[in-house]
Chain A
Amino acid sequence: NAGVTQTPKFQVLKTGQSMTLQCAQDMNHEYMSWYRQDPGMGLRLIHYSVGAGITDQGEVPNGYNVSRSTTEDFPLRLLSAAPSQTSVYFCASRRTGRNQPQHFGDGTRLSIL
């Protein structure tokens, strides 16, 4: 199994550019989520989805959009990149059921100049 696959692994953007970070999982997990990781702050939840067609905001949703048209894919969109969005982004998925452990992708390192 590929598990959770994130693309790209690295990206550099200019302020104001838009971009979509891709996330795909092949485990038929209903729950998917996006986190950003910043030094000393752990991982903070951006958006999450409990199933196809259903998304909700996490702790730090501003500046990001998501959609969930299929079970497998959960893309994260930056509509107008800002330097404050420089971070490492992780996608995660898990099975239905209370507090199933999450499976993480390898991350996307994003720099906004």
Chain B
Amino acid sequence: AQSVTQPDIHITVSEGASLELRCNYSYGATPYLFWYVQSPGQGLQLLLKYFSGDTLVQGIKGFEAEFKRSQSSFNLRKPSVHWSDAAEYFCAVGASKAAGNKLTFGGGTRVLVKP
């Protein structure tokens, strides 16, 4: 069965500093990986996704993520955070075969941005 672990429950970062959110997955075949962001009181918005090809993926809002197969990781990064980046971030893995909507989500990392 597939699983996703986000080791950091909370991260506090100063505005303008860099941010890295960790995501480790467990899946027997080629994973399909996603990062979503959730602002307070809202649904989830897709930041970026990885299916194949270049292991460094660019997303919206200045985010990028790097797929490292050897480490089973898909960490999310942003070089310089803005106050509006304060939100909860979810990593998710999807099955490589047609399996309906079966995304498995990590527990989330809440990002707090200090002025």
By a beta-carbon cutoff of 8 Å, the part of chain A in contact with chain B is: 4, 31-33, 35, 40-45, 48-50, 56, 58, 90, 92, 94, 98-99, 101-102, 104-107
Write the nearest CB–CB distance from A108 to chain B, whole angstroms: 10
A48-B101, A58-B102 as given contacts; A105 in contact with B43, CB under 8 Å: yes
Contact yes or no, A90 B43, CB < 8 A: yes
The residues in B between 28 and 70 inclusive whose CB is less than 8 angstroms from any CB of A are 32, 34, 36, 41-46, 49, 51
| Most chain B Cβ neighbours within 10 Å, of A92, A98, A99 | A99
| Contact count band on B | 20 to 34
Residues of A near B98 (CB, < 8 A) are: 98
| Cα–Cα, bound, A4→B43 (Å) | 10
Seen from chain B, the residues whose Cβ lies within 8 Å of a Cβ on chain A are 4, 6, 9, 32, 34, 36, 41-46, 49, 51, 90, 92, 94, 96-98, 100-108
Bound complex: CA of A44 vs CA of B41, how far in Å? 18
Scoring A31, A48, A92, A101 by chain B CB atoms within 10 A of each residue's CB, the highest score goes to A101
Q: 7 A–B contact pairs at CB < 8 A? A: A33-B100, A43-B44, A48-B101, A48-B102, A98-B97, A98-B98, A102-B46
Name the contact of A43 in the complex, choosing from B6, B41, B90, B97 (C-beta under 8 A): B90
